[in-house]
């Protein structure tokens, strides 16, 4: 099967799920993450999503997959008549040096672009993706494969969620975190995330899901992954950024190893129609969004891992701004001045931005 044909199947699979009012990257995500039965490595990005969606539709209980050759190598046998699942293997090629690049080498080129040492056009001319399609089979399609031990998922309590939040924020400085109000959003102009109090949410998992969504937006800041995130609400660019935040927050959730409850889907369906419109117009936007979402997830999970070590060693310094308390402080200050109301509202405006600068927003 050609790359283009495989991609058409993949994109159609996702569009059809969205049209059924299902969010494909959330379908079946409570099972173990798909992994290669031979290498034991977990699949990432697009391949993870494909294999989870197919597992859901075919009701596979086993999370292991491998190619026909890998099955043969291990003395296993693909059952007669079984159909493989197309996945993509993605590499980055340096046209000038005529070699494949690892992640560190690729990061160096991206740094050159961000520092102005290489133009975006020069980067795109020199650095090219190489994609090949392979087919894998689920363990349930294979004879002779050893039985897989089922791993029980963890559920997280409030204290675990707060620990995850603090670990990530502490490693994404100067990003601020603010608590209060009734909206959840990331403000790209002043670089802060604001969420209502955790007790406003139906569950700790829902709070964490919302936090990870807004954190995904925050990775777009110029000091981090530098995406265009100052988009008008309702625009196609806004829908594209929401798509990235949705997918990447799911990846992060999975990589941290949390089993969610059913509540968290409800707040993520408002954008389905706008995502369908984007994918109908630009089908390959899905592939690009998933690839960038994996970059976002890798970035945040790296910060989480560093921050959680600081927490374990009791070296973490985390500052949370409670805007309700701040507003009360400003009111008290205002009462001691001649222009009390003007001062109070000026200070409150700094904490609660007007709608026109709430560029990336999820209203609760």
Q: Give me the half-sphere count of Cα atoms (radius 13 Å) on the Cβ side of residue 303.
A: 24
What torsion, rounded to 10 degrees, do the Cα atoms 53, 102, 172, 211 define? 0
Give the span between the Cα atoms of 99 and 77, in whole angstroms. 35
What is the token pair recorded at 300? Answer: 């945040």
CA distances 204 to 92, 161, 208, 303, 364, Å, are 39, 6, 6, 21, 15
**How sure is the predictor about 142, in pLDDT bands with cuts at 50, 70 and 90?**
very high
d(CA 171, CA 305): 9
Distance (Å, rounded) from C-alpha 252 to C-alpha 268?
A: 16
d(CA 330, CA 224): 32
Could you report the per-residue pLDDT of 52-70, keeping only the tens digit for each? 878 877 888 899 999 999 9
pLDDT over 50 at 304, yes or no = yes
Each residue's pLDDT tens digit, 83-121? 999 888 878 889 999 998 887 788 788 888 878 898 989
Instruction: Supply the pLDDT for residue 22.
Output: 73
Give percent of the chain above pLDDT 90: 27
CA 122-124-126 angle, to 5 degrees, is 65
Task: Give the count of beta carbons closer than 10 Å to the beta carbon of residue 276.
Answer: 15
* pTM of the predicted structure, to 2 decimals: 0.75
14 vs 62 pLDDT, higher one: 62
Average pLDDT of every residue of the chain: 81
Q: State residue 78's pLDDT score.
A: 97
Q: What is the pLDDT of residue 351?
A: 58
Q: Which two tokens stand for residue 21?
A: 């009012």
pLDDT digits (tens, 9 = 90+) for 312-323: 887 776 667 777
Identify the band that residue 191 occupies on the pLDDT scale cut at 50, 70 and 90.
Answer: very high
The distance of Cα 16 from the centroid of its chain, to the nearest Å, equals 21
């Amino acid at each position: 099967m050609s790359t283009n044909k495989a991609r058409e199947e993949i994109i159609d699979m996702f569009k059809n799920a969205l049209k059924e009012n299902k969010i494909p990257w959330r379908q079946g995500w409570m099972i173990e993450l798909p992994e290669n039965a031979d290498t034991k490595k977990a699949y990432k990005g697009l391949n993870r999503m494909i294999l989870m969606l197919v597992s859901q539709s075919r009701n596979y209980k086993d999370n292991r997959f491998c190619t026909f050759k890998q099955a043969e190598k291990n003395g296993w046998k693909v059952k007669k008549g079984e159909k493989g699942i197309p996945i993509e293997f993605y590499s980055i090629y340096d046209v000038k040096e005529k070699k494949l690049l690892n992640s560190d080498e690729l990061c160096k080129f991206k740094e050159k672009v961000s520092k102005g040492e290489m133009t975006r056009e020069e980067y795109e001319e020199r650095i090219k993706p190489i994609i090949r399609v392979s087919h894998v089979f689920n363990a349930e399609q294979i004879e002779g494969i050893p039985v897989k031990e089922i791993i029980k998922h963890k559920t997280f309590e409030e204290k675990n969620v707060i620990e995850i939040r603090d670990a990530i924020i502490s490693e994404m400085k100067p990003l601020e975190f603010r608590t209060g109000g009734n909206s959840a959003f990331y403000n790209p102009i002043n670089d802060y995330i604001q969420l209502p109090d955790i007790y406003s949410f139906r569950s700790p998992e829902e709070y964490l899901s919302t936090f990870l969504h807004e954190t995904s937006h925050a990775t777009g800041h110029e000091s981090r992954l530098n995406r265009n995130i100052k988009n008008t609400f309702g625009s196609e660019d806004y829908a594209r950024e929401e798509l990235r935040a949705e997918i990447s927050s799911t990846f992060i959730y999975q990589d941290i190893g949390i089993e969610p409850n059913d509540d968290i889907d409800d707040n993520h369906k408002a954008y389905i129609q706008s995502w369908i419109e984007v994918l109908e117009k630009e089908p390959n936007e899905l592939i690009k969004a998933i690839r960038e979402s994996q970059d976002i997830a890798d970035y945040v999970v790296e910060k989480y891992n560093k921050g959680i070590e600081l927490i374990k060693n009791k070296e973490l310094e985390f500052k949370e701004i409670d805007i309700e308390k701040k507003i009360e402080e400003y009111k008290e200050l205002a009462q001691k001045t001649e222009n009390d109301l003007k001062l109070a509202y000026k200070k409150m405006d700094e904490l609660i931005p007007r709608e026109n600068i709430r560029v990336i927003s999820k209203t609760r």
